[in-house]
Structure 1
């Protein structure tokens, strides 16, 4: 199979879909790989590294001539126009809040498999997890920067100093993002509380971290109480493939401390605060009613080398399966990979996306 890997064109997106190690594994199995010139530079991989691994270096036309496109972020409009019937796309899609992208992918006739809805035998999301870990660990870091007075925040230091208390951080969601955010925020010296709807998960966090941070049940009343005390609120909720629920309305902002910071890690799925809108690394924050919002939609791109290697470790078995067998046989052999199928030749195959956009859909297994 011919696999193409383009340069990411989203603003300040430095990750790349294939590492030289992945290229080596593919070419060793007899596949051909075309990497767009300069695609890996932001992650520290030169064109020479890819050539040494067996890849060809080409322009964007050569890349999109491939049978399968492997990348990181969802295709931008110019890229979507290059897709064709019979081609396989393997990347993050986050379709639920993005109707234009959904319509373009349906019109392309391509087969589109989303990293974020591939599952594992434990019910996890193995291709979302590494980037969730990165985003979770970044959230307190960028939130601490946003809290600085020069950036519009309250001017509160995360760990405080002797005689002055630390920042109060509330993390809504106790999954991968929330757990890593809480660990880092607590490590920075903040006073941290994690809210989640799953009592077993809260027990697990208590057992695992032994009081490093507090836990509370995510009832509306508890959320309403804790956010009024918070200097920073990290939105870390996820409904796989679906639009994120709105946890705070604009009216709720009036109950927060002036200069408090909202870090919305769910922004790829539409955001979990009513006032959230996607931002970029060039212009990451904005203010609504005195509250600072950080809503960068590709947070892990800021640490591109770490993120690229972590993502590559997770995607490599699936990339190899798709290349060796083709999308249909690979998905038929692996129901977890089949769960990633979102679009096939003009048909939507993900229920959560269909529900979010009021569209018809078919179950992936009916196409295998």
Structure 2
């Protein structure tokens, strides 16, 4: 239990809202979890939600972990890597779906919902803007509890899974841009960095997010000229303070954006999570870009931010439209599936250990604020306002189900 939650428990006890006996039970309670690792379609997703080392920690803490055979292959983890740490390797999906907890790197497919049982808990990305109303309603009918990777918070009100993957996304965006500017990918043959006697390439980044920061840091380190646009002066100031040097920033003034686009070699869309800015760059503005410029949309799971963006698979991630090279996938970190899996597993293992040290899922939701933020369906009840409003579904806040939240 973290300091923030302990302070909250102490406050509730002092107000006589929480009996001392219940507080003692919460601190000392523990449950054995059965955790099932479900693989994803290898054509779309190569990452795995838990690594063998993460499973080892969970098993040593008294939990049981099962995995469908070859689920870790895309991240270069073999079945034996898991089995030697005590993971039960299953040949049938039915065996994995018998587990109390299910973890997956992508949202459940509608075809998988039939395997679910009342009371099960699913950890996966929500991918709100790619989500379907039909899937959410089917999950509700199954009376399961769903926890979103994107909404889980830590002690510092941060989103650890979203943040670690955003850091990786930003760095990978520059790596992808470098590849697609080169002749090897039929690009313009432009070097992203700067060398003596040659002007450096120009990178324009839309949004001052975590992904933007790491993209700007990587591009600046190579010697590129970087321009970042956002609607918040505070976010721009923070980024300038962190990076400094070769970075220039601006509010989204149309004339300033048009001027930057005219000379840009690379444009990256990376708006912050839950950004109030409704940014959508129309085709008319995109025509300002020079032929062969590379456009990378890191906001595809939020609906994208360029009119020309089209969601593609990792096996066919790019396309040319009006002379521009677009790169638009669900999650660019799939390109480095092993590293991304390790980064994700480090966070998710800690979350699952915390859950196993609580007497029940209800107890854990009630007394762990950051964990509660990740819940979007509880026992079939939709509890997330964003999901409800986006899909036009009725929702009920967790504070109504758990009055002490």
Normalising by structure 1, report the TM-score. Answer: 0.92
Contact 1:169 1:190 in 2 (8 A): yes
Write the deviation string for residues 39-60 of structure 1: whole angstroms up to 9, x where unpaired.
2233233222222222111032
Structure 2 spans left out of the alignment, 5+ residues: 1-32
CA pair 200-238 structure 1, distance change in 2 beyond 3 A = closer
Gaps of 5+ in 1: none
Q: Which moved more, 1:1-10 or 1:332-341?
A: 1-10
User: Which of the numbers 317, 322, 325 marks the counterpart of 1:289?
Assistant: 322
Q: Is the 8 A contact 2:231 2:277 kept in 1?
A: no
Measure the CA separation in 1 of the matches of 2:75 and 2:99: 23
Q: What is the match of residue 400 of structure 2?
A: 366
Residue 135 of structure 1 aligns with which residue? 169
Once the two structures are overlaid, the 10-residue window that deviates more, 298-307 or 72-81, is 72-81
Task: Give the equivalent residue in structure 2 for 1:344.
Answer: 378
Q: Is the 8 A contact 2:126 2:148 kept in 1?
A: yes
Cα separation, 2, equivalents of 1:120 and 1:70: 19
DSSP-derived class of the 2:129 partner: coil
Q: For 1:223 and 1:315, how far apart are their aligned partners in 2?
A: 39
Give the deviation of 1:141 after TM superposition. 0.9
**Contact 2:42 / 2:74 at 8 angstroms: preserved in 1?**
no
Report whether the alignment pairs 1:42 with 2:74: yes
Change (3 A) 1:82 1:271: farther
Q: For 2:283 and 2:244, how far apart are their aligned partners in 1?
A: 35
Superposed displacement of residue 288, structure 1:
2.3
- State how 1:170-185 maps to structure 2 within 5 Å: 170-185=204-219
Residue 257 of structure 1 pairs with residue 290 of structure 2: yes
Compared CA separation, residues 219 and 115, structure 1 to 2 (3 A): farther
Structure 2: distance between partners of 1:4 and 1:76 = 16
Q: Which residue of 2 is the match for residue 74 of structure 1?
A: 107
Q: Is the aligned partner of 1:3 residue 2:31?
A: no
Q: Tell me how far apart the structure 1 counterparts of residues 376 and 54 of structure 2 sit (CA, whole Å).
A: 24
- Partners in 1 of 2:356 and 2:158 — Cα distance? 23
Q: What TM-score results when the alignment is normalised by the length of structure 2?
A: 0.84
Q: For 1:254-273, what per-residue CA distance to the aligned partner results, in whole angstroms no more than 9, with x for missing partners?
A: 22222222111111222122
Check the 8 A contact 1:135/1:265 in 2, yes or no.
yes
Contact 2:157–2:370 (CA<8 Å) still a contact in 1?
no
User: Cα deviations across residues 223-248 of structure 1 (Å, max 9, x unaligned)?
Assistant: 333223211111111334x8994431
**1:105 pairs with one of 135, 139, 160:** 139
Residues matched between the structures, number: 367
